[in-house]
């Protein structure tokens, strides 16, 4: 059975891009009689207060996007992540890293394609003594060491992807210096434990798959399937973002019905020719992932939204 998931980070109100990603995760699973897990990714407690999660859950109800298991809150699953960090330590693939973000920028690490700094390996080979001295001044982050291993997978929408770990990301963080478990670790552990078989999400996360699949390997979990979808953009090429106050659920709910929003998304992705109201079962009947473009989708705001 297909098990999909919603994995929102409640750092603000959902915008149209988030709604579209949830709608696609929902439809992809439901179309084949699958289940959905709802997991709230609120490890960063300062950015993600519980009140935001409550509003987000209410927005999902309002949209009619239902789920079968959850909500699970990552902030309540710390003990689980701790156990998996221990497994990585036992496998001797981790090392403490004392670099601050600023230092890494000064080190002028080579960029990956996404404009993300690749870790230059500064703390990779510290001696026990060096670690002891540095620990006195600063608590370290924990990184997983990677090598030139090639990771291959087939994305259902973007096709076969191949990536060399140390070129793609460099050694990656699994626990931040403030003790917060990092996204790659928590997402892999949770998806595996929760039995998620299919991950549908925005193409901005396509580049994180190799690192995540490497963790699947280390933990000996079974791989899920991936389907990344193009992002929604506004006319000037900018991605939708919570911080820019882009059409969020607060604004949308005042003016539109859930059917207006679902129909608008169906229109923007090319499932229908014009904007019309659509309920979720009608959306399921036109849903065809193959019709989605590869490039990001520039939203048509040429009407009174
Ligand atoms: N929580 C992440 C976000 O809201 C999504 C993580 C994922 O889908 O793997 O961007």
How many angstroms separate the alpha carbon of residue 7 from the centre of ligand 1?
A: 5
Quick one: which atom of ligand 1 is closest to the CA of 18? 4
Same domain, 181 and 195: no
What is the chain's Cα-based Rg? 20
Measured in Å, residue 129 CA sits from the centre of ligand 1 at: 38
Burial state string for 254-282 with b = 16 or more CB within 10 A and e = fewer than 16: eeeebbbbbbbbbbbbebbeeeeebebeb
Region 217-231: mean pLDDT is 98
For 224, the token pair is 């899920």
CATH of the domain at 133: 3.90.800.10
Ligand 1 proximal residues by C-beta, below 6 Å: 7-9, 41, 187, 201, 205
Last residue of a domain, one of 186, 213, 232: 186
Q: Are residues 8 and 155 in the same domain?
A: no
Cα–Cα distance, 18 to 9 (Å, whole number): 10
Q: Which domain does 153 fall in, by range?
A: 80-186
Which residue among 161, 186, 211 closes a domain? Answer: 186
Domain presence at residue 256: yes
The H or E element that residue 45 is part of is none
112 within domain boundaries: yes
Beta bridge partners of 202: 229
- pLDDT-derived band at 305 (thresholds 50, 70, 90) equals very low
User: What digits encode the pLDDT tens for the residues 118-177?
Assistant: 888 999 999 999 999 999 999 999 999 999 999 999 999 999 999 999 988 899 999 999
Q: Are 185 and 84 a contacting pair, CB within 8 Å? A: yes
For 236-277, how does the pLDDT look when each residue is reduced to its tens digit (9 = 90+)? 777 776 656 668 899 899 999 999 999 999 999 999 999 999
Q: Residue 39 belongs to a domain with what CATH number?
A: 3.40.50.620
Q: Say whether both 88 and 70 belong to one domain.
A: no
Checking DSSP bridges between strand 225-229 and strand 198-202, what pairing results, if any?
parallel
Tell whether 27 and 168 lie within a shared domain.
Answer: no
Residue 303 lies in a domain: no
Let me know: does 40 contact 71? Beta carbons within 8 Å: yes
Q: From CA 265, how far away is CA 128, in angstroms rounded?
A: 55
179 and 103 inside one domain: yes
pLDDT at 109: 47
Query: What percent of the chain clears pLDDT 70, i.e. is strictly above it?
Result: 91
Q: Mark which of 163, 186, 209 sits at the end of a domain.
A: 186
Q: Is the pTM of this model over 0.85?
A: yes
Residue 16: how many CB atoms within 10 A of its CB?
A: 22
Q: How confident is the model at residue 116 (pLDDT cuts 50, 70, 90)?
A: low
Same domain membership, residue 271 and residue 200 = yes
Output the CA 219–ligand 1 centroid distance in Å. Answer: 20
């Amino acid at each position: 059975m297909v098990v999909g998931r919603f994995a929102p980070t409640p750092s603000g109100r959902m915008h149209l891009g988030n709604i579209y990603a949830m709608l696609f995760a929902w439809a992809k699973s439901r179309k084949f009689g699958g289940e959905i897990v709802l997991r709230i990714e609120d490890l960063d407690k300062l950015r993600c207060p519980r009140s935001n999660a409550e509003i987000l859950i209410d927005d999902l109800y309002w949209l009619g996007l239902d789920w079968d298991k959850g909500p699970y809150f990552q902030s309540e699953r710390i003990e689980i992540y701790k156990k998996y960090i221990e497994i990585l330590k036992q496998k001797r693939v981790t090392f403490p890293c004392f670099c601050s973000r600023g230092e890494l920028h000064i080190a002028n690490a080579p960029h990956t394609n996404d404009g993300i700094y690749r870790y230059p390996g500064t703390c990779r080979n510290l001696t026990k003594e060096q670690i002891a001295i540095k620990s006195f001044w600063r608590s370290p982050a924990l990184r997983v060491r990677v090598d030139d291993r090639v990771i291959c997978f087939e994305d259902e929408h973007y096709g076969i992807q191949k990536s060399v770990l140390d070129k793609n990301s460099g050694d990656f963080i699994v626990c931040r210096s403030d003790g917060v478990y990092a996204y790659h670790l928590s997402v892999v552990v949770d998806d595996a434990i929760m039995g998620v078989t299919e991950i549908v999400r925005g193409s901005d996360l396509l580049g994180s798959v190799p690192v995540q699949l490497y963790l699947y390997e280390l933990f000996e979990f079974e791989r899920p399937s991936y389907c990344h979808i193009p992002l929604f953009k506004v006319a000037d090429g900018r991605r939708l973002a919570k911080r820019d106050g882009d059409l969020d659920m607060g604004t949308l709910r005042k003016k539109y019905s859930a059917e207006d929003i679902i129909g608008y998304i169906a229109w923007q992705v090319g499932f229908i020719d014009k904007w019309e109201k659509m309920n979720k079962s009608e959306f399921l009947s036109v849903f065809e992932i193959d019709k989605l473009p590869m490039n990001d989708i520039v939203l048509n705001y040429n009407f009174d939204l």
